[in-house]
């Protein structure tokens, strides 16, 4: 690797010595996931599986969406997950009907899920005026990932008498318009789940990747810190139930769906409170 020598005010600096800031930042990149306490099945006497939506347009969730292009070693969550899939650090799972992490898919299937497969189209050649067949390379538009769904399990551990939560999986949700409807006013926005990632497998990558802290540049945290400490806002869209794990949107809409989401949240919170006497 070539090293550039720079002279400033009589002092020589090599490119390897230049630091973009007052000090060298390397803490986050050397971090490993914080070990989580093991849980024995015999100690769990109550649990509930829920699915949440994290909307990246909410201000508190924007560190998961930005930067849209890598800056100072930081990238968005969707960029990080895609990079992990491409390098083989994490496995992507089919999101069409599988959140049990049983159907792994490769990067080509991920591109297809994004609608980024290579296509052939008949287009007009403006030089000759004749129609001809052209191959158009598909593009993964990560800026269209506007939401994430997370699957998590809440459980009460009687060993330490605490209600705890573990994130099981993360799924990017793409928002897009149907082909040809991009510029048509009033066209409905389409949403699709792209792929699932098993969170425990992704933790080493997330722990070594920095996320922007809007309050303090010297205390930047990792993506794993953000999820473990729950520095995000979300709402419940589904809970485990006898009706084929149906979504709230399948039986309620509008304000009623919002109240049902809050009701499920309150039931989980009240379960722990009702175990105690004051």
> What burial letters (b/e) apply to 68-98, b meaning 16+ CB within 10 Å?
eeeeeebbbbbbbbbebbeeeebbbbbbeee
Instruction: State which H helix or E strand residue 42 sits in.
Output: none
> What burial letters (b/e) apply to 176-195, b meaning 16+ CB within 10 Å?
beeeeeeeeeeeeeeeebbb
CB of 86 within 8 A of CB of 110?
Answer: no
Residue 198 scores a pLDDT above 70: yes
Longest dimension (CA), the chain: 85
In this structure, are strands 195-198 and 190-193 parallel, antiparallel, or unpaired?
Answer: unpaired
Q: How confident is the model at residue 1 (pLDDT cuts 50, 70, 90)?
A: very low
Tell me phi and psi for residue 197, to 5 degrees.
-125, 135
Query: In this predicted model, what pLDDT tens digit does every residue of 162-173 receive, in sequence order?
Result: 999 999 999 999
Higher pLDDT, 88 or 188: 88
Q: Which residues contact 245 (CB under 8 A, 6 or more apart)?
A: 238
| pLDDT average, residue stretch 123-151 | 81
CA dihedral 112, 118, 120, 126 (to 10 degrees): 130
In DSSP notation, 165-201 reads: EEEEEEEEEEEE--TT-TTSTTPPPEEEE-EEEEHHH
162: β partners? 157
Q: Which of 75, 143, 85, 147 is nearest to 110 (CA)?
A: 85
Which pLDDT belongs to residue 79?
96
Instruction: State which H helix or E strand residue 152 sits in.
Output: strand 145-157
CB of 252 within 8 A of CB of 238?
Answer: no
Q: How confident is the model at residue 119 (pLDDT cuts 50, 70, 90)?
A: low
Which pLDDT belongs to residue 70?
85
The pTM (predicted TM-score) of the whole model is 0.84
| pLDDT average, residue stretch 111-130 | 76
| pLDDT average, residue stretch 98-123 | 84
Higher pLDDT, 72 or 66: 66
Residue 173: both structure tokens together: 């949700």
Residue 237 scores a pLDDT above 90: yes
Higher pLDDT, 104 or 183: 104
d(CA 167, CA 153): 7
């Amino acid at each position: 690797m070539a090293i550039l020598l720079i002279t400033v005010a009589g002092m020589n600096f090599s490119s390897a010595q230049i630091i973009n800031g007052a000090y060298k930042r390397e803490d986050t990149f050397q971090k490993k996931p914080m070990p989580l306490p093991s849980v024995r099945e015999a100690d769990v006497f109550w649990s509930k599986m829920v699915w949440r939506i994290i909307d990246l347009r909410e201000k508190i969730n924007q560190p998961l969406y930005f930067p849209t292009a890598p800056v100072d070693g930081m990238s968005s969550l969707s960029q990080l997950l895609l990079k992990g899939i491409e390098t083989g650090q994490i496995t992507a799972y089919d999101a069409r009907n599988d959140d049990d992490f049983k159907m792994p898919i490769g990067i080509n299937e991920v591109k297809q899920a994004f609608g980024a497969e290579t296509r052939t189209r008949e287009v007009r050649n403006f030089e000759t005026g004749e129609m001809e067949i052209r191959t158009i390379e598909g593009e993964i538009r990560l800026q269209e990932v506007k939401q994430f769904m997370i699957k998590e399990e809440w459980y009460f551990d009687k060993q330490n008498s605490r209600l705890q939560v573990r994130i099981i999986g993360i799924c990017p949700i793409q928002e897009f318009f149907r082909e040809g409807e991009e510029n048509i006013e009033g066209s409905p926005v389409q949403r699709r789940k792209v792929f699932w990632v098993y969170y425990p497998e992704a933790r080493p990558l997330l722990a070594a990747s920095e996320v922007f802290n809007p309050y303090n540049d010297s205390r930047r945290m990792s993506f794993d810190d953000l999820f473990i400490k729950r520095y995000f806002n979300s709402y419940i869209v589904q809970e485990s139930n006898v009706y084929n794990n149906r979504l709230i949107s399948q039986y309620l809409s509008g304000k009623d769906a919002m109240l049902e989401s809050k009701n499920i949240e309150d039931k989980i919170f009240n379960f722990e409170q009702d175990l105690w006497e004051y």
